[in-house]
Every structure is written in C-alpha cells, then in structure tokens.
Amino acid sequence: MKRIVIPLAIALTIVVVATVLLLYTYTATHIATYTLTTPSKSGEVTTPPLTTTPLYLSEKARKALQKLCGVSNDVLILAYLVHKPRKDFSDMLAKFFENLVYLGSRGTISLELRVCTVSVKELEELGIDLEPVKHGLYPVIGIASSRASMLVVLRNMSIDIDGIMFLDKHITTALYAQQALLYGDTIPIEIDREPNTDPKEVPVIGSRNARFYIYIYEDVYCPFCAEFYNRTLPVLSRFIDNGTVALVLKNLIVHRAAKDLQIYIQAAYMETGNAYGVLSVMSAIYEELLKYLRAGGKELEKAVDREFVAKLIEKYMGVSIESLTLIDEARAVVESDTSEAISYGITGTPGFVVWDRVKGYGIVFVGYRSPEEFVKLLRAMSS
C-alpha cells in the first residue's frame, strides 16, 4: 500500500503524526507535573493514588460499565455502531494507550487496560448520552480510570460523559489515521457520514439506487488499485449488473505526478458526465501499469504519462485535454476527495468505504482486498 507523498498530503500526514506525538508529549508533561506535586510522607515522589472506583464516574456510568463490561476501572471502551471490532484491533488500541501512559509518566505508571467492546445502542439504553461524541468515526473511544493523572491528561483531549472520557473528533481522527499508517490492512472503522456523491462531481458505475456503494479512493499510479481492477472488480461486476452494488470512483492523491492526470480525468467527467468513460480510462491505465511492473519497470511515470492519459480521455470520453474548461473546478474536487479520505482515516491507496444505504452506515478500510473478502463483507453487512 503506497503512502502519501505529495505536498498537500504530506502536510496532512504530518498533522496526523504530530498530533499523536503531541499526545505523548502532553501526557508526559501532565503526568510528570501531577507526580511531582504528590510527594509521599517521606518526601519521595509517588505515583498518583488508585482508588477502588474511578474518580468522577457517575453512579449511572458505573452501573452501566459493570453490567456491560464486568468492570468499571481502567477500562478502554470501544463503542461500535453495528459490527463488533476484531480482537486484534481492540488489543492494538489498548496497547497504544498503555504505552502512552507508560512513556508519558517516564515509566512510573504501568497501566493494564481491560477492553470493553459494546454497541452505541447498548450504552445509550443504559442512559449514557453519546450524542456529543457521535463525530462520524466508530468505534468511539472512551476510558474510565481512577488514576487522577490520566484523567488530567484525557480531560484536555476528550469529552467527559458521566465521568467516562471519550476522545474528541480531532484526536480520534488523528489516532485512526496514525494507526492506518502503521496497520493499514487491519484497520476496520465504521462511519455514519456518507461520502460526497454529487453526480456533477462523482462518477458512479451501476445504479444510483443500489443498496451498497463501494467507494474507491485511488490515483493513476497505485499498483494495488490496479490489482483491484484486475482481480476483484470482475467478480464485483455481477453485483453491479444486478443492481446490488454501485462502484464510486474517488480521488486520493498519493503520487505527486498523479495529481495533474487525475485533474484531467476529473475535468473530463465533469464536462461529459460519462462515468463509464472514466472507468474505461482508469482500467486502461491500470492495465498498462501492471504490464510495466510485471516487465520489471520501476519508474511508474514512464508507464503512464500525460500523452498516454490524453489519448485515453479522447478515446473513451470524446474530449481533448486541451479543450477542458473546468480544470480549476476539477482540482477543487480532487483536493476535496483527498481531504475526505483522510477524514475517514484513509491515508493510502486503495482506500475503500463500503456504504449501506439501507442501514445508513459504512465500513472503512485501507489496502487491497480479494474478491472473496468483498463478497464476505457484503454478506455480513446484508445480514
């Protein structure tokens, strides 16, 4: 899976990584400050006190956690929409926060978090109002802990709901994006905010009335996007043909040289409305890319250049790139798509959103998926 290297995306990635580094720095500062102000009777520095019930946790929240999790202290709560997070994903997040506290306290606090995966609906049925943290990305992350130092840190990056500290939108987005950079193939994220599907801007292959929209975030130099078109799309085509699935083509600029080419293709679509022409152009590009790579080629720009793309646009969409008049508007859409992808934690290509238009939620993941994995996911979402 290729990572972002163009200036805009570099800036966004730097923001993500800097945010996570800020978490460590901020944790270190506040835990150290707290520790230094809580000396023991002998004058030695001690770790923050641990009480039997979490500080500030309301009785309502304590009872809810005891019922749903079997424990109400040092708990990492992952509140999901529809599908319970996999254990490897849950364990990964728990380890992240354990390391955050350990490093931030300079090794003075060794925390072991119990993971509690619970649906948003279950928490709300027990009186926990999650409306303030329904920011679009799930699972929502919350921590209940009796460690006062940890609460001091979390209070500045989270929203307090009955004493459970839920990470805010910006921290959650940065965290998921950072995890996707490291573990892109294992990040399963749910969303309740549908990507833009404005027909004037977004090519849709298949029926716009299909139950499932599969959004692919791609650029012309993405080898794993080429594999998707070559291996997975032919299998998904039967679901597109029967009206179950629509494929939605989105831009995510990963290679610097891809941006202008994506803008030409985007502008050609905006001027012609020919979604299947875009699909044909991208398919031909990826076919050439795979042929070049299988022959041992290394410099992708030599396989697919401006002249090659211009010929494909003229062949399949009936316009020349010299005649395109919506270049500035197309550039805005390409950049908006890239920002949209990153807001979902998608930091590499191909990135996917599988959106269920009946249930009103989607699954986000990054990296190539086999035909069998897509079919399995569609069946799971249909149940």
- Write out the chain's pLDDT in tens, 383 residues: 544 444 444 444 444 444 444 454 444 443 333 333 333 344 443 444 444 445 578 999 999 999 999 999 999 999 999 988 888 888 888 988 888 777 767 777 778 899 999 999 999 999 999 999 988 889 999 999 887 666 666 767 888 999 899 998 888 877 777 666 555 545 568 999 999 999 999 999 999 999 999 999 999 999 999 999 999 999 999 999 999 999 999 999 999 999 999 999 999 999 999 999 999 999 999 999 999 999 999 999 999 999 999 999 999 999 999 999 999 999 999 999 999 998 888 888 999 999 999 999 999 988 898 999 999 999 999 98
Predicted local confidence at residue 326, as pLDDT:
98
The predicted structure's pLDDT at residue 148: 67
- The predicted-structure confidence for 239-279, as pLDDT tens digits, reads as follows 999 999 999 999 999 999 999 999 999 999 999 999 999 99
Using alpha carbons, select from 37, 225, 224, 53 the residue that is nearest to residue 149.
Answer: 37
CA distance 227 to 367: 11
> Do residues 113 and 143 lie in contact, with contact meaning Cβ atoms separated by under 8 Å?
yes
Q: How far is it, in rounded angstroms, from Cα 292 to Cα 381?
A: 37
3-class DSSP assignment, residue 118? strand
CA distances for 102 relative to 24, 27, 47, 63, 110, angstroms: 10, 9, 12, 28, 6
Helix, strand, coil share (%) of the chain residues, nearest 5: 50, 15, 30
**Given this model, what pLDDT does residue 16 score?**
43
pLDDT of residue 50: 40
- Alpha-carbon distances of 354 from 43, 61, 195, 374, rounded to whole Å: 58, 33, 10, 9
Sequence length of the chain is: 383
Q: Which residues of 276-307 are buried (b: 16+ CB within 10 A; e: fewer)?
A: ebbbbbbbbbbebbbebeeeeeeebeebbeee
Structure confidence at residue 40 (pLDDT) = 39
CATH code of the region 204-382: 3.40.30.10
Q: Residue ranges of the domains in the chain?
A: 2-188, 204-382
Please say whether the beta carbons of 105 and 28 come within 8 A: yes
Neighbours of 359 (CB within 10 A): 13
pLDDT tens digits for range 113-172: 999 999 999 999 999 999 999 888 899 999 998 876 666 667 678 889 998 999 988 888
Cβ pair 144, 77 in contact under 8 A: yes
Nearest-angstrom CA–CA distance, 166 and 172: 9
State the Cα–Cα distance between residues 330 and 278, nearest whole angstrom: 14
